[in-house]
Amino acid sequence: MPAGLQWKGFSRKLKGMVVESATLLGSGRAQNYSNDVDAFGLFLLHPQDEERHAGGAVAGGSKEPEATRLYNADIIAIHGLGGTAHKTWTHENGILWLRDIVPNELPGVRIYTFGYDSSFAFSKGTGTLSDFAKNLLEAIRLERTTPESNARPIILVCHSMGGIVAKLAITIARNESDHYPGIGKAVTAILFLGTPHQGSASARYATILAGTANALIIGSQISRLTGPIRSSLLKSLQRHEPELLRVAEDFRVHTANLNIISFIEGRNMKGMNSRIVDDHSAFVGASTERKIPMPGYDHREICRHGSPDDHGLKLLLGALKSCMPIGMSRSLYNDPTRVPEREAPPFVNIPFQKNSAFVGQQEVLEQLTTVFHGSHNTRQIALYGLGGIGKSQIALQYVHNANENDPDISIFWVFAGTKERFERDYMEIAKGLRLPGHNNPEVDIFNLVKTSLEKAHFGKWIMVIDNADDLSMFYGSPEEEEKESDTGKKCYPNGLFNYIPSCPSGSVLYTTRNKADALQLTSSGHIIQVREMGLKDLHSLLQTKLYGETPDEEQYTDLITTLDSLPLALVQAASYIRQNSWSIAKYLKYFRSKDTDLSFQILLHDFRDQTRDKTVANSVFKTWMITAQQLEGQHPEAAETLFMMAFYSSQNIPRYLLVPENVLPESSNGSECVTNLPSPKSNRTLGDTAEYLLDQAIGTLVAYSLINIAYDSQPESYSIHRLVQSFTRYWLVEHRNTADSWAAKAVNSLSREFPATEFENWMKSAQLLPHVLKFMDLQPVSHLPPLRFGVLLIACSDYLRMRAHYVLASKYAHLAIEILEKSPEEQTFAILDAKCSLALIYRSTARFQEAEQLLRPAIENYSIALGADTRTLSAVATLSVVLREQEKYEVAEKLARSAFHHLGDQDHLQDPKLAECRTKVEAALATVLGDTGQYKESLEIQQAILQRLLESHERKHPRVAQAQHNIAVTLCKDGQYAASRVLSSEILEFNRRFYGPDHPRTLNIEYNLGRVLEEEGDHGEAETHFRSVINSRGTNLLGKYDPETIDCIRSLTECLENQKKYQAANEYYQAAYQRLLESPGTKYVWVVALGEDLARTLKLTHHLAESIIESKEEPLASEPIHHITLPRGSGGGGGRHRHKPYARDSSFGSWTR
């Protein structure tokens, strides 16, 4: 094909593509792209007048007969990119709706259309947006030459880029009022039809085509004939183009008194997979703006309507009517039969744009719709919930939805944070509705708005009263009245509630933090609690706010959980993360830092959000300061209860921890704590007044949604948001300087309530333990009362030891000693108690020598100060057990008999502490007697202990089971295997249920049962029990092998040998031997014992192993040898060895309580 033909074909194709793009953006047709000067200027469409200006503009001042005029306004239509003054508004059936339909619906209006050179395909035009705006202003100035025409309000109807021209024109007119007098103020309303306020993504496609065409055409004959494509004009429509954003920002300053209605395209353009102007771009973002979707209309069709029945045209006409001032002639005004539909057109005052990131809470929105529009007569609803939970955002979403669904409804937003702001918003309503007298300072604005809205013919309306948290503003108070009188302000002694309108056609939606306030504001009407959003919705919220970040579901969940699912906190966190270019992991790292100043700083981060009031701080902490001040001023008991709760764990805070110490009744019940501490007052009852005050405080905190009640818990308990706790501590540290004082009160309450470590108290101890642990993360222990906190830690350590949590128990015992020794002269006995508690932990973890080193000086100090007191004798009994574990039987028996002798025949029935001490001493003596073959005396003592316990306890009780366990061990030692087996089986089942299968007491009795079965020859069943014990212990509770674990391993291998399972025994020995060598702190004697066993099984399986023992050097020769039963044979010929069954559960109760 010849080159010329190729070029002509490409040129035609390119021109078609460019025109198609222009049509998408400006709705102009290809054949209308011309430089016809008659198409530019201001054209009068109605009423028809033959006297035209030279450029196509009409002579000013033409009037309709006065008797027929109703609407006194001028409508000016401005087309978009590539459009024309007439064709843009003309349907394909030839109907130009502005000329042919609107006059019948709006008699009295004058209708103009403005044309300018917006073509860009092969155009010689050089005009810019600023040129077009000034041309429009000049045309209007020339048209409005008489006082009558100057007084007419102007309503602009703009399509696509025409809206940008209009915004620029208004900005210029108001900034240059000398050149364009009165025009800026005359514009009272604008209808935007698919205007890309923030640019159109589709404009990029057109820009690419335009740039390509310019490059091809420059210098050609076609260029000289028609001019290049105006890519600069197209570029101005690109999303976020600086010029476009500048126009939007300048215009936003002038939107306060404008009625702005934005119409949104309802479907994609044909051949494209998106709308030309999306929701976000089509929204100006002004407080007075309404958004109306146009379902079924694309960017081109949105401005072309061919019938009065066209749904889109009905929406446009309704919007135009709502913007019209009413200027009726005398003949109509005086017609007594005429009743106006409404006194004023709809006025929409929503201060924030619709939240594009809004997710969830559909149930609440549906409730609002059902209640407001249902059959019930409810006209007032209150949303209540914790600050930051999303109440205002729900209200915002609801009114935007209502506005989109019903353009005829008026919407008012009143901020109730202060009385001044409340009055200012009422003033905006009066001004927006043009209520008579709104400019008169003598007029009562509150009463003016109320009476106007309550008139039957006003029409439908919704009023949102946001942040209604101060009831004194609504119902008045003597203090407020006196304050206002002193300042000379208008006084409303009964508050502002009487000025909130109420009528069948209007609805009021409150947002408040307090349930009680919600009930009062709605006269005990319909209230809705705003609760936490679901995890899926919160994930969506984060994904929207962290736009551009790679979503990580696991990290999202971690962040949501950490911030207690609070929407405001999540939005704040997202802002902080993006602002600092952090990852979620880094944010959480610093948020969880023990440096409280750092976490406070993060939670004080303020941010800006177009859907939130700019005069109100957006950080979570600053939001809650209002609540803190209200609680302290109006509900001091509730504030004090909240201050206590700030230092406990956030979940399951029992009621009894919140009782102020000064209202506790005296009680002689309960066992005595350490010296100088009052008795625990468990199971006490408060007086009616104290109970009432506490109930009131709890009720107030629940009403503010700060805490929740766990109604199914016994005793009653509460939960609190962790963020609320953090805020409360911040408030006490930074604003009240009383954090240490309240932390001390919380510790005193915990110390008062933490029970003795009896089995009956384990449930209560388990309930209180998390609250003790919380102090480890919150408060430097040096700031807490040392005696109270030390005693609390001792009790906590005792409980943890009884539950076999030895590592944590040891940590708290050490911490108690450290705290108490800082002022030893005041708490000598508490220090000794803490050391004895630590000795019991050492005894339970086979650190016998360390336990002995703690017990000997403690006994000496007890003896000096107290003599043969129960504390002294209990310590002696524990030392006897520790010495027996080291096979120091003679000394152990002597100590136990000495303590037994000192007890004598004292009546233990009258003294629970003496009875506890006697049980400990007798159990220690019986155990050492059993170890030295004195079975008869041992069993007599143990039977006596059991009988005493059965007198005060049920048979199925852990203390009874403990006594039975020791009897079963002694029976086994004495060769009474059948009796021992029956008793051990019974105890094993009980211990599994009570302690759990992995508790040391359960494992000890199971091992004992295995030994009995082995002695009876039931090797298979014995093997099962031995394996169960070893599997449960793993590397055992100490984290390394100890004598009990080694004994169990050797018992299992002996059992395997007896069944001639030599290979299995050998493999077990090899694994255990290797692990023992790798374990830290391994004792030499343990290595020797297992090494000999391994050598024997190797010989039995035809392997040589003499080198195993001969090459092993003693690694810890200087260390003491602990209790271990060595093989009786020398390792030759498969010699048999015997093991002692366990006999270690001889310690009853706790140390200090």
- Residue by residue, DSSP assigns 974-1001 as TT-HHHHHHHHHHHHHHHHHHT-TTSHH
- Please give the torsion angle defined by the CA atoms of residues 695, 700, 706 and 707, in that order, rounded to the nearest 10 degrees: 20
What integer pLDDT is reported at residue 437 of this predicted model? 80
Count of CA atoms in the C-beta half-sphere (13 A) of 582: 17
| Residue 1151 scores a pLDDT above 70 | no
Indicate the pairing of strand 717-720 with strand 653-654.
Answer: antiparallel
**pLDDT band (50, 70, 90) for residue 262:** very high
β partners of residue 360: none
Rg (CA), the chain: 44
What integer pLDDT is reported at residue 193 of this predicted model? 95
Percent of the chain with pLDDT over 90: 16
β partners of residue 187: 154
* Residue 90 DSSP label: B
- Torsions phi, psi for 323 (to 5 deg): -95, -5
**Cis? peptide before 636, omega within 30° of 0:** no
| Residue 1040 scores a pLDDT above 60 | no
**pLDDT band (50, 70, 90) for residue 913:** confident
Bigger pLDDT: 412 vs 2 = 412
Could you report the per-residue pLDDT of 582-641, keeping only the tens digit for each? 788 877 777 766 656 666 666 666 555 555 555 555 556 666 777 787 788 888 888 899
Bigger pLDDT: 817 vs 589 = 817
The closest of 1074, 1078, 1075, 1054 to 1064, measured between CA atoms, is 1054
CB 882 within 8 A of CB 855: yes
The closest of 838, 925, 797 to 873, measured between CA atoms, is 925
What integer pLDDT is reported at residue 183 of this predicted model? 92
**Cis? peptide before 1141, omega within 30° of 0:** no
Could you report the per-residue pLDDT of 150-190, keeping only the tens digit for each? 888 999 999 988 999 999 999 999 888 888 888 988 999 99
Cα-to-chain-centroid distance, residue 69 = 59
Count of CA atoms in the C-beta half-sphere (13 A) of 933: 0
DSSP H helices in 324-386: 330-333, 362-373
| CA–CA dist 539, 534 (Å, integer) | 9
Average model confidence (pLDDT) across the chain: 75
Q: How far is CA 590 from CA 538, 545, 546, 550, 604, in A?
A: 22, 20, 19, 21, 14
**pLDDT band (50, 70, 90) for residue 1140:** very low
- Torsions phi, psi for 156 (to 5 deg): -95, 135
Could you report the per-residue pLDDT of 480-514, keeping only the tens digit for each? 545 544 444 454 556 788 888 888 888 899 998 88
- Please give the torsion angle defined by the CA atoms of residues 928, 931, 937 and 943, in that order, rounded to the nearest 10 degrees: 80
CB 91 within 8 A of CB 55: no
What integer pLDDT is reported at residue 1146 of this predicted model? 43
Could you report the per-residue pLDDT of 980-1007, keeping only the tens digit for each? 999 999 999 998 998 888 888 888 889 8
- Please give the torsion angle defined by the CA atoms of residues 805, 807, 809 and 812, in that order, rounded to the nearest 10 degrees: -150
> Which of 404-418, 681-695, 875-889, 924-938 shows the lowest per-residue confidence on average (mean pLDDT)?
681-695
| CA–CA dist 901, 925 (Å, integer) | 11
**pLDDT band (50, 70, 90) for residue 1029:** confident
| CA–CA dist 432, 348 (Å, integer) | 8
Bigger pLDDT: 783 vs 316 = 316
Tell me what the mean pLDDT of segment 692-705 comes to: 83
Angle at 219 between CA 215 and CA 222, to 5 degrees: 90
Sign of torsion, CA 912 916 917 923? positive
| CA–CA dist 582, 600 (Å, integer) | 18
Tell me what the mean pLDDT of segment 353-377 comes to: 75
Bigger pLDDT: 804 vs 36 = 804
Could you report the per-residue pLDDT of 116-140, keeping only the tens digit for each? 987 654 445 567 888 899 999 999 9
What integer pLDDT is reported at residue 255 of this predicted model? 79
CB 884 within 8 A of CB 927: yes
Sign of torsion, CA 480 485 488 489? positive
Bigger pLDDT: 940 vs 755 = 940
Q: Ranked by mean pLDDT, which of 328-332, 471-475, 1078-1082, 1146-1150 comes out on top?
A: 471-475
The closest of 335, 462, 468 to 403, measured between CA atoms, is 462
Could you report the per-residue pLDDT of 429-469, keeping only the tens digit for each? 888 888 888 778 888 888 889 888 888 677 888 999 998 88
What integer pLDDT is reported at residue 225 of this predicted model? 33
What integer pLDDT is reported at residue 233 of this predicted model? 57
Angle at 944 between CA 940 and CA 948, to 5 degrees: 170
| CA–CA dist 943, 979 (Å, integer) | 14
| CA–CA dist 652, 649 (Å, integer) | 8
| CA–CA dist 889, 905 (Å, integer) | 26
| Residue 950 scores a pLDDT above 70 | yes
